[in-house]
C-alpha cells in the first residue's frame, strides 16, 4: 500500500478528519450520535486463532447486521465510486456499506485501490464519479470543517506518520494542545491514560526515533483514539486503518490486532474500559489480521467489490478470485 501522506498534509487533514470541529450540523443543530444497544462488552484476551473462524464478537455482528437492519445503522456508504490517476483507472464502480458496530476488512491484490478507497472515505481524495455518504449525507469534495455530519472519522496510517520532532506526549496530545481548551496538566494525564490503554507506559518523553515499529503503531493508535473529554460531542466513531500490521513480526502483529479489537466498542482496553470506536475498517494483506481483527470482508479486484462475506467464509468461498488470493496460488484469474 502506498503511503502518500507527508507530515504537513497529515497535520492538516488529520485535524479535519479525526477531529471534526463540532458535532453540529451547518444550521447549528446538535447531531446526536447513534448509539444502538449493540455495543456490548466483549471478552478480552483472545487466543490466537489457528484458522479463519468467527471471532468471539461475531455472533452479535451476524445478528445485528442482516439485510433487514435499519438503514439508519449505515455510517458510511460508497456508491459506484470511480477514481483514476492519469491513465490508470483504479476504482471502477466500488459499492459497499459500513454499518454501526462493524469491523470490516478490505482485502485484495496489490494496486487494486484499497488504500485509495480508504482515503476517499477519509476525505483525503475525491472520487471522479460516484458518491460517498456519511450517515446518509453526501460528502462533497474534500473533507472540510463545514462538511461534517457528526461522525468523527480517524485514519491510522501505515507508516504511523508521527511527527519526528515531537515527543510521544506531544504527538498523542497534538490536537488537544492545539485545538482544545483543556488545561495542559489534564492533557498530560489523558495522554498517559490513553497510552496505557494501548499498553504503553513511561514512553511519553521519548522521541519517535526511540520507538520500535510496533510501538510507533501503538502511539499512532493512541493519537487517533484520544479525544477532548470535556466536549462530549466529538467522541471517536469510525477508525480507518491502513495496513496496521505491515512490517511487524507475528507477535507484534498480534498485539496490534488485539489493540484494534480492544478500542472497538465491543472490546475493552488495557485498563478494562470499553472501547469507544463504533466501527472500523482495516486495509490489510495479512492473513493473521484478517482472521483476528475483523468480522466481515470486502474483496476488491480490478476496481470493484467482487466478493463480500464473513471472515470465516473466506477460505471456503467458491469464488475463484477469492480462492486464489486465499491460497496464494499463481494460477487463477488474478494476474500479476
Ligand atoms: N496519488 C496518486 N497518484 C498516482 N497514482 C496513484 C496515487 N495513489 C495511488 N496511485 C496508484 O493507484 C494504484 C492503487 O494504489 P493503492 O495504494 O490504492 O493500492 P492498494 O490496493 O492499496 O495496493 P497495495 O496492496 O499494494 O498497498 C497504484 O497503482 C498506485 O500506484
Q: Supply 323's cell numbers.
A: 480462492
Residue 149's pLDDT is 52
> Quick one: which of 186, 220, 185 has its CA closest to 203?
220
Helix, strand, coil tally for the chain in percent (to 5):
30, 20, 50
Ligand 1 atom 3 nearest Cα: 85
pLDDT at 295: 94
Identify the pLDDT of residue 250. Answer: 84
Q: How many C-beta atoms surround the C-beta of residue 277 within 10 A?
A: 25
**pLDDT value of residue 94:** 97
Distance CA 171, CA 128 (A): 34
Q: Work out whether the CA dihedral 228, 191, 274, 260 comes out positive or negative.
A: positive
pLDDT digit string (tens) for 35-89? 222 222 222 233 333 333 333 333 333 333 444 445 668 889 999 999 999 999 9
- Kindly state the percentage of the chain with pLDDT values over 70: 72
Ligand 1 centroid–CA 2 distance in Å is 6
Say how many Å lie between the CA of residue 111 and the centre of ligand 1: 5
Flag whether pLDDT at 145 surpasses 80.
no
Mean pLDDT (whole number) for 5-30 = 29
Interval between CA 217 and ligand 1 midpoint (Å): 21
Residue 15: pLDDT band (50, 70, 90) is: very low
Kindly state the DSSP code that residue 304 receives in the 8-state scheme. E
CA 254 to ligand 1 centroid distance, Å:
26
- pLDDT for 313 equals 93
The whole-angstrom separation of Cα 310 and Cα 63 is 12
ipTM over 0.85: yes
Q: Give the tens place of pLDDT for each residue, 271-313.
A: 777 777 888 999 998 888 898 999 999 999 999 999 999 999 9
> Above 70 in pLDDT, residue 108?
yes
Give the mean pLDDT of the chain: 74
Question: Which of 111, 121, 159 should be mutated for ligand 1, with most atoms under 8 A from CB?
Answer: 111
Ligand 1, residues at Cβ distance < 6 Å: 1-2, 4, 85, 88, 90, 110-116
For residue 200, report the distance from its CA to the centre of ligand 1, in Å. 32
pLDDT digits (tens, 9 = 90+) for 233-259: 555 578 899 888 887 788 878 888 888
Cα-Cα-Cα-Cα dihedral of 318, 322, 323, 329, to 10°?
Answer: 160
Distance CA 219, CA 33 (A): 27
Q: Report the atom number in ligand 1 closest to the C-alpha of 1.
A: 27
Residues above pLDDT 90, as percent of the chain: 30
Range picked from 8-12, 155-159, 298-302, 326-330 for highest mean pLDDT: 298-302
CA dist 211 and 231 (Å) reads 31
Single out the residue of 268, 239, 247, 209 nearest to residue 3, CA to CA: 247
- For 163-190, the pLDDT digits (tens) are 888 999 999 998 888 877 888 999 999 9
Amino acid at each position: 500500500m502506498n503511503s502518500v501522506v507527508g507530515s504537513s498534509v497529515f497535520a492538516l487533514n488529520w485535524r479535519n478528519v479525526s477531529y471534526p470541529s463540532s458535532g453540529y450540523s451547518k444550521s447549528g443543530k446538535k447531531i446526536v450520535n447513534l448509539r444502538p444497544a449493540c455495543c456490548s462488552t466483549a471478552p478480552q484476551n483472545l487466543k490466537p486463532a489457528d484458522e479463519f473462524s468467527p471471532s468471539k464478537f461475531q455472533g452479535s455482528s451476524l445478528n445485528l447486521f442482516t439485510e433487514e437492519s435499519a438503514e439508519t445503522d449505515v455510517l458510511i456508504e460508497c456508491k459506484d465510486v470511480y477514481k483514476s490517476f492519469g491513465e490508470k483507472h483504479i476504482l471502477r464502480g466500488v459499492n459497499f456499506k459500513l454499518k454501526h458496530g462493524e469491523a470490516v476488512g478490505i482485502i485484495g491484490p496489490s494496486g487494486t485501490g484499497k488504500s485509495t478507497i480508504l482515503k476517499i472515505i477519509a476525505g483525503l481524495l475525491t472520487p471522479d464519479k460516484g458518491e460517498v455518504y456519511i450517515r446518509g449525507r453526501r460528502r462533497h469534495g474534500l473533507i472540510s470543517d463545514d462538511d461534517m455530519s457528526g461522525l468523527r472519522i480517524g485514519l491510522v496510517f501505515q507508516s504511523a506518520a508521527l511527527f519526528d520532532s515531537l515527543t510521544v506526549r506531544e504527538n498523542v496530545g497534538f490536537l488537544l494542545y492545539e485545538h482544545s481548551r483543556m488545561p495542559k496538566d489534564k492533557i498530560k494525564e489523558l495522554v498517559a491514560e490513553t497510552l496505557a490503554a494501548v499498553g504503553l507506559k513511561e514512553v511519553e518523553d521519548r522521541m519517535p526515533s526511540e520507538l520500535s515499529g510496533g510501538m510507533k503503531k501503538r502511539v499512532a493508535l493512541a493519537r487517533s483514539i484520544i479525544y477532548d473529554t470535556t466536549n462530549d460531542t466529538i467522541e471517536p466513531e469510525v477508525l480507518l486503518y491502513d495496513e496496521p500490521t505491515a512490517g511487524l513480526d507475528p507477535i507484534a502483529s498480534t498485539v496490534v490486532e488485539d489493540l484494534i479489537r480492544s478500542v472497538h466498542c465491543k472490546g475493552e482496553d488495557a485498563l478494562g474500559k470499553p472501547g469507544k470506536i463504533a466501527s472500523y475498517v482495516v486495509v490489510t494483506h495479512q492473513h493473521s489480521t484478517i482472521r483476528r481483527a475483523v468480522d466481515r470482508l470486502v474483496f476488491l479486484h480490478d476496481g470493484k467489490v467482487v466478493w463480500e462475506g464473513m471472515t470465516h467464509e473466506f477460505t471456503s468461498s467458491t469464488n475463484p478470485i477469492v480462492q486464489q488470493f486465499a491460497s496464494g496460488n499463481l494460477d487463477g484469474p488474478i494476474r500479476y
